[in-house]
């Protein structure tokens, strides 16, 4: 009888440990807070580091946006194939922080927009 009770308690404990995480919502599903910038980011000519001002953008989403520029509109940004639904929602939530300036080809080469060489 004691062995049966011990086995039942063990099984019950294992079930509890396995089912508890199912009731906890994923933290990654929540969007970071939207921050209003005094000076919007020119998504066609900015460097990667400027996206550090926006929670949730730096470095992964910022790299995707810099690499795929130029854009004519917010809809252009949202057409990037490698964006997840959460990243698209984050871009939409921060739309007021973006401007779509004329792309200055040659003024900011892609490798300089990604790595400005700030070391130290």
Portion of the chain with pLDDT greater than 70, in percent? 74
* Residue 29 reports pLDDT greater than 80: no
Domain coverage including residue 91: 31-114
* Residue 53 reports pLDDT greater than 80: yes
Each residue's pLDDT tens digit, 70-109: 999 999 999 999 999 999 999 999 999 999 998 877 655 5
- State the Cα–Cα distance between residues 10 and 24, nearest whole angstrom: 23
- Cβ-contact 48, 62 below 8 angstroms: yes
Overall domain count for the chain: 1
In a domain, 41, yes or no: yes
pTM equals 0.66
- State the Cα–Cα distance between residues 39 and 30, nearest whole angstrom: 26
CATH code of the domain covering residue 57: 1.10.150.320
- State the Cα–Cα distance between residues 58 and 52, nearest whole angstrom: 5
3-state class of 60 per DSSP?
helix
In a domain, 87, yes or no: yes
Q: What mean pLDDT value characterizes the chain?
A: 82
In a domain, 20, yes or no: no
In a domain, 8, yes or no: no
């Amino acid at each position: 009888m004691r062995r049966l009770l011990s086995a039942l308690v063990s099984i019950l404990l294992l079930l509890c440990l396995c089912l508890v995480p199912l009731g906890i919502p994923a933290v990654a599903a929540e969007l970071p807070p939207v921050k209003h910038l005094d000076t919007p980011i020119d998504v066609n000519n900015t460097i990667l580091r400027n996206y550090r001002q926006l929670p949730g953008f730096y470095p992964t989403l910022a790299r995707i946006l810099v690499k795929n520029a130029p854009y004519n509109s917010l809809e252009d940004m949202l057409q990037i194939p490698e964006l997840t639904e959460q990243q698209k929602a984050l871009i939409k939530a921060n739309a007021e922080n973006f401007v779509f300036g004329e792309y200055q080809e040659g003024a900011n080469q892609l490798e300089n927009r990604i790595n400005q060489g700030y070391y130290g």
